[in-house]
Structure 1
Amino acid sequence: MTATSSPSPSSSAVWAFATAACVKLLLVPTYRSTDFDVHRYWLALTHALPARQWYTDASSVWTLDYPPFFAYFSRLLALPAPLVDASLVSIPVSDAPPFAHLLYLRLTVAFSDLLLLASVLLLARDARRRRRPSLALLLVLWSPALIAVDHVHFQYNGFLMGLLLLSLHFLEQGRDLAGGVVFAALLCSKHLFLVAAPVYFVYLFRHFCCGRGVVRGVGRLVLMGAAVAAVFIAAFAPFVYYYGQVRELDRLIQF
């Protein structure tokens, strides 16, 4: 008898993701919190209004209070919405949304989780090359917190966690500049990840800048700073350009 080979981390991750996706589909009609109304309004806001009004519109109590890259992400998710129901992305939003609205937003959460799967697959490949256990990565796909918060309470934290894991993959590969840029993009998507910024700064400073001589080290520090600054400029500059929106953006850094 020939011994059966154990499944690869990649195939295990795909199966774990597919199984979790089926569970999430079963949870579509379950409880939803006010975050469903928040993100439904943000889809309508970013689709129906020009960007200069995203942070100043007051037609709803659910004002946009995430950084600009998440606003662009909402805009992207809203593009196919008129094919399902034009009222889904019209302002003002309806007080009693039909089931199609709930189904559409639940599916956008599940679809955006593909970034989480891709990042887990990349890290699983890294773990296999370094002969490290990758069970923890598989458990990320089945995280009760992601299922309960993203697919019941309603959030897009799976997509954001995918960005974080993608950044860690680049760091694992020794591509520190790419890892720093992706983490900067994450900060421009949800400011709560600022809690990890000091850890990133210390790691990148020691691993990317130190131990390479003063001149080369300073040059790398300037390069990393310029790359991160470019990400923030790309995210915030269009909104800072419009008069009065600096004050609106101030609330994004308030926890």
Structure 2
Amino acid sequence: MGVHELRQKARAAPRKQHGIKVEKAKGSTDAVAVKSDHTVGWAWPYNSRYRSTCFLVLGFAFLLRYLVSLHSYSGAGTPPKFGDYEAQRHWMEITIHTPVEDWYRNTTDNDLTYWGLDYPPLTAYQSFVHGSLIKALEPEAVALHSSRGFESPTSKMLMRWTVLSSDVLLFFPAALWFVSEFYSDYREKQRVWALAMVLLHPALMLIDHGHFQYNCISLGLAIAAAAAVVSKRELWACVFFSLSLNHKQMSAYYAPAFFAHLLGRCFQKNSFFQSIIAVVKLGLTVILTFTVCWWPFLESKETVLQVFSRLAPMQRGIYEDYVANFWCGTAMLFKWKQLFPMGTLAKLALGTTVSACLPSMVHQVYAPSRKGFLYCMLNCSLAFYFFSYQVHEKSVLLPTIPVSLLGVEEPQVLQWFIPFATFSMLPLLLRDGLFLPYLALMSLFFEISKFPHYSFERSVETSNTRLLRKLPTRFIALSVSGAAVLHLMYLGLQPPRRYPFLFEALIMAFTFAHFVLLALYTNWKQWLLPKDTPVKQKVT
């Protein structure tokens, strides 16, 4: 018997790792976890011989975030409105000094034209907690009215540490949980690499710890919801995803995937009555979670509508600045904002977004699977990014998360898409003075993302990667060369006076074309996946 046959036989045999016996369901590409002699969840790094490596990854991820935080941020020293850093600081100021009912309302103390709150209640509560901590340590940083544009060294350090702590408390544990659940059938070295690909995400580090935002909270909650889905904890998935939606409304990019997959799971019950009961349980869980989050604002219909009006500012237009999506990427050919009024564009955006999501949703309703759910997350988030209304450049973070979660399954997609997604934000990052960390993190990611191929490339050499490997070498070379040329043009040349934003438009069109290719591939790939066979016993 040859080496190849021995490997095939070893892979076909059921494996037992850390108390979980992993079996392949007949006709399914997804491994199904069956409860064994030990109860383990996402604690595998703590009781394995690779736990020290996992802690090294966590420590290195934290160090990189800290180093990025030493650089500039959005709107640094640029009055009168500064930037996103000032927006987050101002929300802390408002939430700790005004009544809850005034947080989303224009008042003497809360001028909505100056960075008014435009995220859901969980962001407001987070701002209150962080603002209270900063007030205890440096009251001047969040003083009402007088703190606008406050940028002392101590306050900047405190603000940066609120993001770092949010990452450690939410994003890191969520990533650990997901990797331990979804990759339980993989070798420990592969799981460590999968964890690294989620945590060493250059775009997310640059936006949260450079530009300054708290995407790690909403995305961490979304990853926790995905971990709950792949571990068959549907009610917890509803709780975590509802919390993610209540932190940032952009988490709605994932909503079709969660809805379709969980509905498909309900349809797999033994009887129609059981399916109805399952749907009711999920619905009640979502309603209860939303009720808890919105409770302070449910005193009147007017208060609720006021909050909603802040969450959907239609007057901002179909996209902000330069975005690598359909509307902006094709703007050089079609002047959408001139061709159609705002209301018509909103309807077009809704119709195209729903149409682009439908194929992935239909697949998960009729053939739900753990792996298919992640592809559905990716495809639906790309659909929202391409076509939805009011998209900004940072929205590209949403599709990068499922790509990171699928890293071991789709290593070529990971190595290709994450850098191009980060590249699409280059104009924003340059404005923020973040080119040095951009260059460093991109270079590091290119090296780390290639590292494990010598050890397990064969194990993932299936239909998952065969299509991308067969892409013409000339196309790959042209793609990389084009990105390099655009970098040089944008950094070293002056655009024509008649077209001052020509280079930005070229970057958006170029990256959008690459994203379209990804969407075509991942939609096709999702439809090749069979549904999961129901688990024998849920892992607790």
TM-score, normalised to structure 2's length? 0.44
Specify the alignment match of 1:119 in structure 2: 174
Name the amino acid aligned to 2:164. Answer: A
Question: What is the alpha-carbon distance in structure 1 between the residues aligned to residue 303 and residue 217 of structure 2?
Answer: 27
Is residue 98 from structure 1 mapped to residue 152 from structure 2 by the alignment?
yes
Distance 1:105 1:242 in 2: 34
Give the aligned length: 249
Shift of 1:23: 2.6
User: Matched residues in 2 for 1:228 and 1:21: separation?
Assistant: 33
1:179 and 1:208 map into 2 onto residues whose CA distance is 14
1:222 to 1:75, Cα distance in 2 relative to 1, 3 A: same
Gaps of 5+ in 1: 1-5
Cα distance 1:77–1:172, how it changes in 2: closer, same or farther (>3 A)?
A: same
The question of whether the paired residues in 2 share the 8 Å contact of 1:116 and 1:161 is answered with yes
1:13-24 alignment runs, 5 A limit: 13-24=54-65
Q: How far apart are the structure 1 equivalents of 2:278 and 2:202?
A: 40
C-alpha distance 154-185 of structure 1, shift in aligned 2 (>3 A): same
Distance of aligned partners of 1:11 and 1:163 in 2 relative to their CA distance in 1, 3 Å threshold:
farther
Mapped pair 1:59 → 2:135:
no
Deviation at 1:86, TM superposition (A): 0.6
User: CA separation in 1, counterparts of 2:295 and 2:183?
Assistant: 41
1:252 correspondence with 2:306: no
CA contact (8 A) 2:86 2:148 kept: no
Deviation at 1:170, TM superposition (A): 1.2
> Could you tell me which amino acid in structure 2 is paired with residue 103 of structure 1?
M
Which residue number in structure 2 is paired with residue 75 of structure 1?
128
Does the 8 Å contact 2:182/2:227 carry over to 1?
no
1:173 paired to 2:214? no
More displaced stretch, 237-246 vs 227-236: 237-246
- Report the counterpart of residue 203 of structure 2 in structure 1: 145
For residues 53 and 35 of structure 1, what CA distance do their matches in structure 2 show? 21
CA distance in 2, matches of 1:11, 1:189: 33
Residue identity in the other structure for 2:181: D
Distance 2:150 2:90 in 1: 13
Is residue 2:254 matched to residue 1:196?
yes
- Kindly state the Cα deviation for residue 14 of structure 1 after the two structures are TM-superposed: 2.7
Larger radius of gyration: 2
Residue 163 of structure 2 is matched in structure 1 by 109
Cα distance in 1 for partners of 2:160, 2:199 equals: 17
Q: Does 1:88 align with 2:141?
A: yes
Give the whole-Å Cα distance in 2 for the aligned partners of 1:66 and 1:117: 23
The letter of the residue matching 2:265 is: H
RMSD, matched Cα: 2.1
Identity of aligned residues (%): 26
Contact 1:168 1:179 survives alignment (8 Å): yes
TM-score of the pair, normalised by structure 1? 0.89
Return the alpha-carbon distance in structure 2 between the equivalents of residues 179 and 96 of structure 1.
39
Matched with 2:526 is: none
Whichever residue aligns with residue 99 of structure 1, its letter is P
Q: Which has the higher contact order (CA 8 A, sep 6+)?
A: 1
Deviation at 1:127, TM superposition (A): 4.1
- How many Å separate the matches in 1 of 2:253 and 2:312? 12
| Partner in structure 1 of residue 215 of structure 2 | 157
CA distance in 2, matches of 1:127, 1:222: 27
Residue 98 of structure 2 corresponds to 49
Which residue, out of 227, 231, 237, partners 2:285? 227
Contact persistence 1:17–1:141 (CA under 8 A)? yes
Alignment check: 8 A CA contact 2:225 2:237 kept: yes
Look up the SS of the partner of 2:69 in the other structure: coil
Cα distance in 1, alignment partners of residues 127 and 246 from structure 2: 13
- The residue type equivalent to 2:248 in the other structure is K
Q: Does the 8 A contact of 1:13 with 1:117 survive in 2?
A: no
Q: 1:144-172: per-residue Cα shift (whole Å, max 9, x none)?
A: 01111001111111222211111111112
Counterparts of 1:228 and 1:11 in 2: how far apart (Å)? Answer: 38
Which deviations, in whole Å up to 9, do the C-alpha atoms of 1:90-140 show, x marking residues without a partner?
211233421111111111100000111111221232245322743333212
Q: 1:14 & 1:201 partners in 2: Cα distance?
A: 34
Pick which of 195-204 and 115-124 moved more.
Answer: 115-124
Moved more, 99-108 or 128-137: 128-137
Q: By percentage of residues, which structure has more helix?
A: 1
User: Which stretch of structure 1 is more off in the superposition, 227-236 or 89-98?
Assistant: 89-98
* 3-state SS of 2:148 partner: coil
Amino acid across the alignment from 2:72: Y
The verdict on how the C-alpha distance between 1:242 and 1:100 changes in structure 2, with shifts beyond 3 A counting, is: farther
Deviates more, 1:104-113 or 1:204-213: 204-213
Deviation at 1:245, TM superposition (A): 2.2
